[in-house]
Structure 1
Amino acid sequence: MSTHPNTKARTWLDKLPSLPEDPTHPTQIAIRTYSLALALSLGPSLLPIITALLSSKRNLHRTLKALKKVLRRELGFDGFAFAATFAIWGGTILGKWWNAEEFHLNNYSGQYSPLKHVFLTFSSRLSDYQRSYISYVLSSAIGFRLLLAGRRRSERLRASSSTLPIPYTPPTSTPAAIWGKASPTLDLTLLLLVRALDVLVQSIIRRQCGETASEDPEAKRTIGENELLERFEEKAAVEEEKKRRINSLTTKIDAFAFWASSARIMWCWFYEPQRLPQSYVKWIGALAGVDKRLLRTLRHVRDGTWSYVNGSKLHPTLLTTYAKDLGYPASWGDPGTLPASGLDATRTWKELGVVGRDGIGGLPCELVHGGEGQALGLASSCTANSGIRGAKAFVEALLIYLPQLTDVFRLIFYQYS
């Protein structure tokens, strides 16, 4: 009698439906898409919260409140994960329904309604590629509407109360009333636009480079088998070399597009962050860990209101408070005291107590590094600063993309198993 409950439990578990083994099944597609999209959206959102929990400066109640909002935003039906899953899963389901409905109507011998007749006529004029395209356009439109609703709701909540501070973003120089408010999904639009242009350029390259001259079929009848085999091997070698060149070219195009877009994004983040989507500014700032006063100084140097030669009448104490917060003398951040370059720089550095900058002007490296390596006595080392920041950035990026790597390894294992 003691084994009866376990038997009932096993019987109940056996009745549960199992996941289909076909990787193209809509259920498998939905699970993979949701897990990957959730890793993309929830991972970066949890990173500052985890950092706040590990820090003693954050109030626990406030951090948990922020965690609740993040989970509500990302796990809701209007979150990125659900919207992306619906767009891809919905397109797959719609395409399968379309094919099944057309097959049923083609093999149906009875009378059907005029609406189904129009559907069958329209469907018969489309290729499989066109049907798939229409299916995914319809599902993606609904997914974008869900995502847009979620972004707008997040903006309303952010405007009412901010739970986690975001990196400093100066007010835009152009009034919003003139240019209008940017779309909440601008970041996703830019991503899809760049990828679409990349696919278009690569398809053009492959189509142009893949064209081959037509071969006369009569030539095969007038040559021997050995010569025909040699021609076949030569043609295969040419095709293989052509494919290698195409792959090399498309890879270089990918690398160039990534480099160019990254360079432009980082330039805007330093000097004109109002031109970027707010999410770009937020996450780059969270990963960079640069003090907002240092960024403001860079922008003032660019517009000429902060100078090592003429000082700064408008912002004389911008970096003095920054230097004091790092534990250095306020004079290290005074633009009226800092040298530009030359022999005067060596003399000034001796007066200020800065070592290792003979003949070099500008801001002391200790302030530029923002205190990185200060606990190890390496605050003035540029090499140590780059190494520490590089290691921290690598670990943070690894934490963000770790769920995606597990999905990739799982797919590779499934393919070879």
Structure 2
Amino acid sequence: MSTHRVIADSPSRLSSTRRKWDSGIPTVLRPVARAYLLGFATAVGPRLVALLVQHGRWRRKDKQATAAGEATHGEPAFLTALQRILWGGLDWRGFPIFCAAVVGGTTFLERPLRAFLDLLTKDLSAIARRRLSRWFAAFIAAWLSFRLRQSKRSPAFTDTIAEPGSNGIPGPGPKTVHYAGRTLDLTLLAVTSALDVIVGELWHRHRLRRQAAGKWTPLEAAIGRLTDPALFALSSGLIMWTWIYQPSRLPRSYNKWIGSAAAVDARLIEALQRCREGTLLYGRDTGQAPLLTSMCTDYGWPAEWGDPARSIPFPCEMVHMGCGPSCEYHAAVRFLRSFRWAFARYLPIFLFLTVRRRSVRSLRRAPLSAARSSAFLAAFITLFYYGVCLARTRLGPRVLGRDVACRQRIDGGYCVAAGCLLCGWSILLEARGRRKDMALFVAPRALATLLPRRYALDKQWRETLAFAASTAVVLTCALENRRRVRGVVGSALGSVFAGSA
């Protein structure tokens, strides 16, 4: 959730620089060149940063190996990885070529399609024909480019299975099966952006009609203000639920980042999972006591706290992990710790953006902006934990009951649900301009948790259709009304089509 700001802000800030370097490129080719470079930076940049960090570790190990008289391997490995990353950016089925193909196809197909529509649909207005030609051009370009992108195979979406025989005759041997789903994140990003464009335009027109009639109400104004925070809260809550109960449905990097921010003992997560699965049952000895009794030993708590047969439920102090029995004190400590952790990560990002702007005023505001974003993330973590405590200790037992069955239901999902419902509303601490970007950033990832990561290859055309139609909507809107496309996608398309009619 932190790095998306750099991606979202960079295209608009670099637009003036791009106009200088691409001034010698023909106008019709500039969007293609910009799209390729933007795709190259998106695909290669993060991998280069990760490689440089890894290279620093390799160099330290090489120094230790040299001092010990052992062979070193870090430098050759670094050069090999660097070459692989750079060549990957030139792959004809890679992301940079894909971006250039979508934009280039839309640009070059629009004019002949408009001429064709002029001949067939003279009863339509010129504006309608222009929009239709752009939509069809973008649809065709997106469909063909996406099929090219999908043609690249990945080991994660390939299995080798043995074909069964019959009547005692052995099967023909192992069979390679390819699955679809590698491009699902890209599809969901396009679908989310298209829905945002459509809903945003409909709401804008509704607001203009109501205001013109003098019927615009405070409730409607509040709905407009809270839509983005509500979308973020719903999406982030769904992601947190998945992180607790189905972490395999999230990307590995997401799991790692959330785990680092949450700073929770893995045994607590596993205990909640077992409560939901029904393997850890209160009041019964199902052999689950060692899981939490080992945690009691590490933290110096009574061993019976971790035995679900005797401790119904296990004390909330175990959730606090050493902060004492008070849920409110634990929340305060969590906030301070999380704020310090987040500030150490946000401040360099804001300082980096400030250096690019070369503004003294921005330099002074960088710590304040970093503190505000850190407060948002700290409140997110704090509200999640305090929501769990509210359901387990403060409100849950009073509303649902205190018997064993109610305690089982609370720890079997209700407490986590309470944390998921609360945590995302920390977005209200962020600046209003940031809320829409963050909502559109997490929404596709939340949708991905509801869909299978791999599915049968013969159903891939559905995903291709969804991507092509959604991309056509977004690109048409970007060419017609650039401000209507919001978030990271809007910033990127704004830089790509800068100066285009």
Q: TM-score, normalised by structure 1?
A: 0.51
1:136 and 2:108 aligned: no
The alpha-carbon deviation at position 260 of structure 1 amounts to 0.9
The alpha-carbon deviation at position 284 of structure 1 amounts to 3.3
1:383 is matched with which residue?
332
In 1: Cα distance, 2:85 partner to 2:111 partner: 36
Between 1:278-287 and 1:188-197, the stretch displaced more is: 278-287
1:294 is matched with which residue?
268
- Distance 1:143-1:98 versus aligned 2 partners, 3 A rule: closer
2:321 is matched with which residue?
367
Q: Pairwise mapping of residues 151-230 of structure 1 onto structure 2 (< 5 A)?
A: 152-153=154-155, 183-211=181-209
The alpha-carbon deviation at position 44 of structure 1 amounts to 9.3
In 2: Cα distance, 1:279 partner to 1:92 partner: 29
1:265 and 2:218 aligned: no
Q: 1:96 aligns with which of 75, 100, 107?
A: 107
- Distance 1:338-1:310 versus aligned 2 partners, 3 A rule: closer
In 2: Cα distance, 1:88 partner to 1:395 partner: 34
- Distance 1:281-1:408 versus aligned 2 partners, 3 A rule: farther
In 2: Cα distance, 1:44 partner to 1:333 partner: 45
In 2: Cα distance, 1:284 partner to 1:400 partner: 19
Higher Cα Rg, which structure: 1
Higher fraction of helix: 2
Contact 2:88/2:94, CA 8 A, preserved across alignment? yes
Contact 2:110/2:137, CA 8 A, preserved across alignment? no
Deviations 1:8-28 (A, max 9, x none): xxxxxxxxx953289993223
The alpha-carbon deviation at position 70 of structure 1 amounts to 9.5
Q: Secondary structure at the match of 1:391?
A: helix
Counterpart of 2:332, as a letter, is T
Contact 2:292/2:306, CA 8 A, preserved across alignment? yes
Instruction: List alignment gaps of at least 5 residues for structure 1.
Output: 1-16, 107-117, 158-179, 213-236, 342-359, 370-379
Query: Identity percentage over the alignment?
Result: 20
Q: Pairwise mapping of residues 19-168 of structure 1 onto structure 2 (< 5 A)?
A: 19-20=22-23, 25-26=30-31, 27-36=33-42, 38=44, 42=47, 72=84, 76-77=88-89, 82-83=94-95, 85-98=96-109, 127-145=129-147, 147-148=149-150, 152-153=154-155
- Distance 1:329-1:254 versus aligned 2 partners, 3 A rule: closer
Instruction: List alignment gaps of at least 5 residues for structure 2.
Output: 1-19, 66-71, 160-177, 324-328, 360-490
1:354 is matched with which residue?
none
In 2: Cα distance, 1:409 partner to 1:211 partner: 43
- Distance 1:383-1:139 versus aligned 2 partners, 3 A rule: same
Contact 1:320/1:333, CA 8 A, preserved across alignment? yes
2:404 is matched with which residue?
none
Contact 2:274/2:280, CA 8 A, preserved across alignment? yes
Deviations 1:333-359 (A, max 9, x none): 732587447xxxxxxxxxxxxxxxxxx
Contact 1:319/1:334, CA 8 A, preserved across alignment? yes
The alpha-carbon deviation at position 77 of structure 1 amounts to 4.3
In 2: Cα distance, 1:330 partner to 1:182 partner: 51
Q: Secondary structure at the match of 1:364?
A: helix
- Distance 1:264-1:96 versus aligned 2 partners, 3 A rule: closer
Counterpart of 2:268, as a letter, is L
- Give the aligned length: 304
Deviations 1:254-273 (A, max 9, x none): 22111111111211221233
Deviations 1:358-380 (A, max 9, x none): xx9335356378xxxxxxxxxx9
In 2: Cα distance, 1:386 partner to 1:67 partner: 42
Deviations 1:366-414 (A, max 9, x none): 6378xxxxxxxxxx95533332234324544677899889889999xx9
Q: TM-score, normalised by structure 2?
A: 0.44
In 2: Cα distance, 1:306 partner to 1:322 partner: 16
Query: Over aligned residues, Cα RMSD in angstroms?
Result: 5.7
- Distance 1:396-1:406 versus aligned 2 partners, 3 A rule: same
The alpha-carbon deviation at position 205 of structure 1 amounts to 1.4
Counterpart of 1:93, as a letter, is G
Q: 1:315 aligns with which of 267, 279, 288?
A: 288
- Distance 1:182-1:29 versus aligned 2 partners, 3 A rule: closer
In 1: Cα distance, 2:79 partner to 2:296 partner: 33
Counterpart of 1:28, as a letter, is R
Of structures 1 and 2, the one with the larger relative CO (CA 8 A, separation 6+) is 2
